[in-house]
């Protein structure tokens, strides 16, 4: 009799699972494993104190259970479903929806996942049956509200290590500053400043956690880095040993920073954008003193519905006007922020497509090409006219980094992006003057080895196009890069076994190869071989002309290297 009951229960669960996945499949196409890996990253908000709301209709939870589930949610789920569970790239999980489904339904949905992109948390072994039950009950509670982050909060974290009056009046070292690389040491909360000429580490600088990007001031003197925890560090390259001179925390979770570039405003201002709270802040360019905070909460570009959590994605500084170009993820709005008068801030809103993420300039630095990743589009923002020049359909989940510019033998100047969700590389025409028929259209697709690409790169002095695939589940792909000959794209790609060349010990580390970056002269390409925090990692340098190994940089201080940025190329937007 007991066996019969168990069989009936298993059949019922299987039927419910099929029903769940069938319903969710109608919401969208399946999501690849690389996309799931990318979206499921932990949020720094996991450690922030939050108020627990109670809902008498929700299933009971103890305070300890609630806290455990909250931690799991912010470690695994917030990247897709949002801090407030209102929906981001994933569906909303608010009580008005989840209570109607009930605990049993939600348990099966969490356990088995769906073709629409929900991971199969239990059947994959990521969560236990007890943890799945916990999460099913948690998402029926009112979402806990993270704290806001005000001007007063920012100023409490603002520190000036070296005041402007005490800084060097000229360069006080012999480094070739233009060829310094800033390499993110993700899990230690540091960046490594590396001499591109000698391949020696200049300094390991303390920063925020998991630095997302490094940006260079217009003069090339200062580096600005921002961690996922919202901490901005300002590094002076003129010091005898380059190091921090100022820092501030502009929010609780963040991704983007840049500085003013327009003539007459060089190095005057800095800007950083937060994931939470959804806002950006404009700061003094010498000290990081916060001057102006602007919320990005507002209406979505497509359905014109209010969104409470539109995260600030990429930010760049215009070369045509005193403007910052601020891309807002969930609303699909690009904000052209005129910084010429902070007391009378003027903003032009350009609607493109939802889920704006990263991007880079075309070769003329007039058009900012930004990926709307879950919309599978690239928006071309005209920085001169302040308008949308084009909206281009591309492959599944574009993720260009800053993209890559080169001259195509047929289509003229093009900008390229790879994709998280498929093996293609899209080429988009960017010359509306001499190649009008190809401007802001996908003119060609290249076929790479597989999805999971994060960065693509070329250089004006190179004939090569490089693409990584660090999030591909196949280790042969994640531990190598592919290279295309720009003048013979139809011949396919060459594979470079970067992780193998690194010569690291066989210690079980992942050894994912990430982010090609050229040196100043454009004749070397640097790659990070990214392994676990307790495993050996390295940087590999390749000769761009011969595609042969040139150098391997190993040091016990190089821990979880990910992004790296050459000062000259970042300063002048060369990619």
Q: What are phi and psi of 269, to 5 degrees?
A: -130, 155
Distance CA 88, CA 91 (A): 7
Reading the block at residue 117, the tokens are: 């992109």
Residue whose token pair is 């196409």: 29
- In 3D, which of 560, 559, 524 has the Cα closest to residue 540? 524
How many other β-carbons are positioned within 10 Å of the β-carbon of residue 102? 12
- Is 118 annotated as catalytic? yes
Marked catalytic residue, from 61, 239, 336, 357: 357
- Is 20 annotated as catalytic? no
Reading the block at residue 445, the tokens are: 């697709």
Marked catalytic residue, from 61, 80, 135, 239: 80
Marked catalytic residue, from 81, 212, 459, 464: 81
Whole-number Cα distances in Å, 179 to 217, 440, 522, 526: 15, 33, 10, 12
Distance CA 403, CA 418 (A): 8
**Through-space distance between the first and last CA atoms of the chain, rounded to whole angstroms:** 69
The answer to whether 523 and 506 have CB atoms below 8 angstroms apart is: no
Bond into 277 cis (ω within 30): yes
- In 3D, which of 248, 164, 239 has the Cα closest to residue 207? 248
SS3 state of residue 362: coil
The answer to whether 78 and 39 have CB atoms below 8 angstroms apart is: no
Rama region for 350: left / alpha / beta (φ>0; ψ in -120 to 50; rest) = beta
Marked catalytic residue, from 61, 77, 135, 239: 77
Distance CA 215, CA 217 (A): 7
SS3 state of residue 70: helix
Q: What are phi and psi of 100, to 5 degrees?
A: -70, -25
- Is 80 annotated as catalytic? yes
Q: What are phi and psi of 285, to 5 degrees?
A: -75, -15
How many other β-carbons are positioned within 10 Å of the β-carbon of residue 467? 26
Active-site residue set:
77, 80-81, 118, 357, 399
């Amino acid at each position: 009799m007991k066996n019969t009951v168990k069989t009936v229960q298993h059949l019922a669960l299987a039927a419910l699972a099929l029903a769940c996945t069938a319903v969710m499949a109608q919401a969208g196409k399946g999501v690849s494993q690389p996309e799931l890996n990318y979206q499921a990253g932990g949020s720094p908000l996991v450690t922030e104190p939050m108020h627990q709301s109670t809902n008498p209709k929700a299933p009971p939870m103890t305070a300890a259970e609630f806290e455990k589930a909250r931690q799991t949610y912010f470690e695994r789920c917030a990247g897709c479903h949002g801090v407030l569970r209102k929906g981001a790239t994933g569906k909303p999980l608010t009580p008005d929806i989840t209570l109607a489904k009930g605990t049993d339904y939600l348990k099966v949905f969490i356990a088995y996942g769906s073709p629409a992109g929900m991971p199969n948390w239990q059947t994959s072994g990521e969560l236990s049956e007890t943890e799945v039950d916990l999460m099913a009950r948690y998402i029926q509670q009112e979402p806990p509200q993270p704290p806001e982050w005000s001007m007063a909060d920012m100023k409490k974290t603002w520190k000036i290590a070296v005041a402007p009056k005490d800084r060097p009046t000229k360069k006080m070292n012999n480094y070739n500053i233009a060829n310094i690389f800033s390499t993110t040491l993700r899990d230690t909360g540091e960046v490594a400043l590396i001499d591109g000429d000698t391949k020696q580490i200049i300094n390991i600088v303390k920063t925020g956690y998991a630095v997302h990007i490094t940006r260079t001031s217009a003069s090339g003197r200062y580096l600005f880095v921002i961690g996922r925890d919202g901490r901005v560090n300002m590094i002076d390259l003129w010091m005898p040993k380059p190091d921090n001179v100022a820092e501030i925390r502009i929010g609780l979770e963040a991704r983007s920073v840049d500085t003013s570039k327009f003539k007459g405003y060089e190095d005057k201002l800095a800007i950083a954008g937060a994931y939470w709270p959804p806002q950006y802040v404009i700061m003094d360019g010498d000290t990081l003193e916060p001057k102006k905070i602007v919320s990005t909460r507002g209406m979505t570009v497509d359905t014109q519905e209010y969104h409470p959590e539109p995260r600030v994605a990429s930010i760049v500084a215009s070369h045509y006007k005193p403007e910052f170009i601020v891309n807002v993820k969930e609303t699909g709005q690009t904000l052209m922020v005129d910084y010429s008068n902070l007391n009378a801030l003027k903003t032009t809103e350009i609607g493109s497509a939802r889920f704006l993420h990263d991007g880079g300039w075309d070769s003329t630095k007039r058009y900012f090409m930004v990926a709307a990743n879950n919309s599978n589009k690239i928006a071309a923002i005209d920085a001169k006219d302040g308008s949308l020049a084009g909206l281009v359909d591309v492959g599944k989940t574009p993720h260009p980094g800053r993209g890559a510019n080169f001259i195509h033998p047929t289509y003229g100047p093009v900008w390229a992006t790879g994709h998280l969700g498929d093996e293609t590389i899209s080429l988009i025409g960017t010359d509306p003057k001499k190649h009008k028929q190809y401007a802001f259209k996908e003119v060609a697709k290249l076929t790479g080895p597989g999805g999971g690409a994060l960065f693509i790169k070329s250089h004006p002095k190179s004939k090569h196009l490089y693409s990584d695939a660090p999030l591909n589940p196949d280790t042969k792909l994640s531990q190598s890069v592919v290279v295309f000959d720009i003048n013979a794209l139809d011949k396919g790609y060459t594979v470079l076994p970067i992780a193998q060349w690194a010569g690291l010990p066989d210690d079980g580390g992942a050894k994912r190869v990430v982010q090609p970056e050229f040196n100043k002269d454009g004749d070397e390409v640097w790659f990070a071989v990214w392994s676990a925090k307790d495993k050996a990692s390295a940087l590999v340098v390749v000769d761009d002309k011969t595609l042969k190994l040139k150098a391997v940089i190993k040091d016990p201080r190089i821990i979880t290297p990910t992004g790296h940025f050459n000062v000259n190329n970042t300063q002048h937007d060369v990619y």
